[in-house]
Amino acid sequence: MALLEIKEIAARDAGAIDELVSRAFQYQSPHHFLEDFPIWGTDRALRLGIYEQSQLVSHVGIRFCEMQTSRGLERIALMGAVATHEQHRGKGLSTTLLREAIQRVEARSCPWSILWGSEHEFYGRLGFKLEGTQARALISDLAINTAGLQSSPVKVGLTDSIFQDFLRRKTGIQFTEADRSWFFSHPTVEWHYLDEPFSYVAYQRGMDLKHMVHEMGGDLRGIQKILYHIYLQCPIAQVMGQTDDLIKLGFPMKAIFEENLCLARPTFAGEKWKPEYWISGLSAC
């Protein structure tokens, strides 16, 4: 096979990635990939592509970030927007780009590469395996006292107070001021919140997180109120999070379904995935 040239793609050229990945994941116009995953069109991510003449035919994105752990911040590389144009599949393009991405992770001595995908065998050949635990439950199974839950109206929208709460988070991927722009650029995420007691949830994100609450913060009773409000609009709505957090919210263990969190590849031999490692919905890509 001829040596493939890998190019770094500038954020201003991310339109070609949007077109390629939207097609690969069968987005139906007017919906498109970057409205669900705006991170891949920003300077917070690195984009690697292979072109055939001037057409982008394969892409892999990498987001270098840090995860909050009990030992402090640990570096981590999130990979995503992995796609090859259908006429160029099976030629090793994605494998080549993923190998390059892994080399860059190794060059930075970043201990983990993480991604999401159902092609476990394909990613397994590159050293990725299923890791971590994520819990899901139907809001209808929430065992709470609903008296008074409809008293204060739930507001809709993303506020600066919510973003500030993300900046203070003690678990998961760390957000900084530099993430503000893409954080606020998710047209397909519905934010619901209460000012008093301060509480919020993020609901849905395009194709991936339909009917799913994937971010929660603030006062527990406030979150219950918001969840109840969402349940009244959509009885099949679910909540996704860490098992302990779902139990604290009032879900009985028998209502909680656990599954793997992600596909992870350790950079260093012997590196073990720790149960506390957590990546919530908005960071998953």
Ligand X SMILES: CC(C)(COP(=O)(O)OP(=O)(O)OC[C@H]1O[C@@H](n2cnc3c(N)ncnc32)[C@H](O)[C@@H]1OP(=O)(O)O)[C@@H](O)C(=O)NCCC(=O)NCCS
Closest contact distance (angstroms) between CB of 36 and ligand X is: 13
Closest contact distance (angstroms) between CB of 83 and ligand X is: 4
Closest contact distance (angstroms) between CB of 20 and ligand X is: 8
- Residues 6+ away with beta carbon under 8 Å from 205: 36, 186, 188, 189, 212, 214, 281, 282
Contact track, ligand X, 68-87, x by CB under 6 A: --------------xxx---
CA-wise closest residue to 6 among 106, 93, 114:
93
Assess contact for 129 and 214: CB atoms under 8 A. Answer: no
Handedness of CA 183, 184, 189, 195 (dihedral sign): positive
Which residue in the block uniquely carries the two structure tokens 């116009």?
Answer: 29
Closest contact distance (angstroms) between CB of 128 and ligand X is: 11
Does 142 bind ligand X (CB under 6 A)? Our answer is no
Find out whether the peptide bond into 30 is cis, omega within 30 degrees of 0: yes
| DSSP line for 166-230 | HHT-SSEE---GGGHHHHT--TTPEEEEETTTTEEEEE-BTBTTTTEEEEEEE-HHHHHHHHHHH
Number of residues that bind ligand X (CB under 6 A): 17
Segment interacting with ligand X, rule: CB under 6 A, options 40-48, 89-97, 173-181, 212-220? 89-97
Q: Distance (Å, rounded) from C-alpha 134 to C-alpha 238?
A: 13
Does 91 bind ligand X (CB under 6 A)? Our answer is yes
CB of 80 or CB of 172, closer to ligand X: 80
Residues 120-139 that bind ligand X (CB under 6 A): 121-122
Q: Distance (Å, rounded) from C-alpha 44 to C-alpha 280?
A: 18
Q: Distance (Å, rounded) from C-alpha 190 to C-alpha 79?
A: 24
Segment interacting with ligand X, rule: CB under 6 A, options 1-9, 113-121, 137-145, 157-165? 113-121
Residues 244-283 that bind ligand X (CB under 6 A): none
Does 90 bind ligand X (CB under 6 A)? Our answer is yes
Closest contact distance (angstroms) between CB of 110 and ligand X is: 19
Does 24 bind ligand X (CB under 6 A)? Our answer is yes
Segment interacting with ligand X, rule: CB under 6 A, options 118-126, 173-181, 211-219, 224-232? 118-126
Closest contact distance (angstroms) between CB of 84 and ligand X is: 3
Judged by the rule CB under 6 A, the positions of this chain that interact with ligand X are 24-25, 58, 82-84, 89-95, 117, 119, 121-122
